[in-house]
Amino acid sequence: MATVIAVRDPTPASLEECVEALVTWGFDPGEEESLSHAANWLKRLGNDPHFLGDALVDMMAGLGGDAMDLPATQGAGINHIVLVPPERGNFTISAHIWPSLADHALRASAPEALGYGIVRDHNYDFLDLGYFGPGCEIDDYECDPETMAGWQGEPVMLTPLGRSRMETGSIVHYRAGRDFRCLHPPESLSVTLTLSHAHPSHCWRDHYVLERRRGRAGAFRIARVLGHGPSETFLRIAVALGGEEAQDLARRLGTSHPSDRMRIAAWRALASSARDREARDAVWREAEGAGNRVVAMVARRQRS
């Protein structure tokens, strides 16, 4: 389950001091000492009540660094500001602005665009720190990733862990692929600081948005599979514009790539370039028998 990490260090630290410490030590959320070290520095950063406001003023005045001019990353919403991109270490630091029901930002945007009301996980570990305001209410769930294949529409059972509030000063560790959550608007404007683990392998990990099913508590199905990157698009272009070599490459990727998502992308590329409906069905029939459970389920849905 998502873990609350107790840190009682009252001393503040600047953003640069926090970055230097994390660069020196690294950030490995699977190693207890490294996780504790990172949580302590995130807490010290959060102990400075002015740094984020100063950074936002500099950004709006055009004085901020390149990091704060970057768009939102890793599937974040429009209320996500990148403070430190993964250029100097295996982590990012960002801020999330959480408007309340009374704020115009929420009235002017769909709640889902801000991250509210969505049951989802992430394909990377991260630490969340309550920085300002009363904090969002959060419904927490836990999942055994071994029980999920990962195809859209798949029934999923989560373990409900209750509702909590992201209070100022609290730090919570969310694990990739295991901890799901659903955020609800805070009573008034709130802010969290997020320290996320960054690794090239994360782009091949799927993560999901779930929708509830009727029946017992914790019953969901996969509504969307997230995490798609440029490789899938490049493959579809190559198959559409290329010849037999591109077709052969797609078939090899469709049967042997370590990422289920890339296998599906390869079969989709082959199907989209098929000359007619019968040829497309032949592609999906071949995919269905290619020996991968997730691909087989997608292929079966395509054929039906």
- Phi/psi at 194 (nearest 5 deg)? -125, 125
pTM: 0.84
What pLDDT is recorded for position 64?
A: 57
Q: How many angstroms separate the CA atoms of 301 and 119, rounded?
A: 24
- Listing from the earlier edge strand, what are the strands of the sheet with 179-184? 155-157, 219-226, 207-212, 119-120, 179-184, 137-142, 159-165
Per-domain residue ranges of the chain:
3-226, 230-303
What pLDDT is recorded for position 70?
A: 41
Fold annotation for 3-226: Jelly Rolls (2.60.120)
pLDDT tens over the chain, length 304 residues: 899 999 999 999 999 999 999 999 999 999 999 999 999 999 999 999 999 998 888 877 876 554 444 443 434 457 899 999 988 889 999 999 999 999 988 888 888 989 999 999 999 999 999 999 999 999 999 999 888 888 889 999 999 999 999 999 999 999 999 999 999 999 999 999 999 999 888 887 889 999 999 888 899 999 998 876 778 888 999 999 988 999 999 999 999 998 888 899 999 999 999 999 999 999 999 999 999 989 999 999 999 8
Q: How many angstroms separate the CA atoms of 203 and 222, rounded?
A: 19
Specify the 3-state DSSP secondary structure of 187.
Answer: coil
Whether residue 27 contacts residue 199, with contact meaning beta carbons closer than 8 Å, is answered with: no
Q: Tokens for 8?
A: 């009682």
What pLDDT is recorded for position 77?
A: 59
Q: What angle do CA 87, 89, 95 make, to 5 degrees?
A: 75
Q: Tokens for 150?
A: 């990962």
What pLDDT is recorded for position 65?
A: 54
Cβ count near 127 (within 10 Å): 26
